[in-house]
Chains A and B, each alone.
Chain A
Amino acid sequence: MQVLFLLLGLAFLVCGVMRGEADTVLNKAIKLCLECVGIG
């Protein structure tokens, strides 16, 4: 059961990276979008 979840988590992770989600995360995290964090 737990092994299943571990594999699922890993699969999701890889799938997400291949989709380009990791780049989106990095891109957003290094530039401060003021309204997005509640400034303004």
Chain B
Amino acid sequence: MATLPQLIEEDIQRLDEALRDFLTQTDATVALLIDKGGFLLTHQGDPGELDLTTIGALSSGAFLASQTIAGLVNEKNFNYTSQQGEHASLFTVNVDEHCLLVVIFPSKSGMGVVRYYSTGAVSRIAQQLAAARERDPEGGLDLSELNVADPQELFRKKPA
């Protein structure tokens, strides 16, 4: 299975810049970049009490379900999904093969503005991901000090 490109801190900084600019343009509350597997890669804005991990996982599932429906009706162009609420709205748009941009914004801001400016943001994000894909980063996280032979170091059950 194809995977995300290897991203380094510089990539994340550029991605965050693109998200910040997008938030300024749209007055959106939070913008999340998520992997289609449900992982939150980075976000900008003030999430307050929002559980971004769960929002990322659910948004990914909902978007992929929508894509599957697109396939069933022979449509290749279900590029975004949106939910408009009374106070808060959600917009999810495809970035590339691996990533999605999820935007939470006040409903009074209007979906049109978010959708319009998302085109530029998606383009910048996709370019950065493409640049990362062409790079060949070195090194990795050294996990060798972790004692994986000791299961007690992992998940522990509360004593009864």
Partners in one complex: no
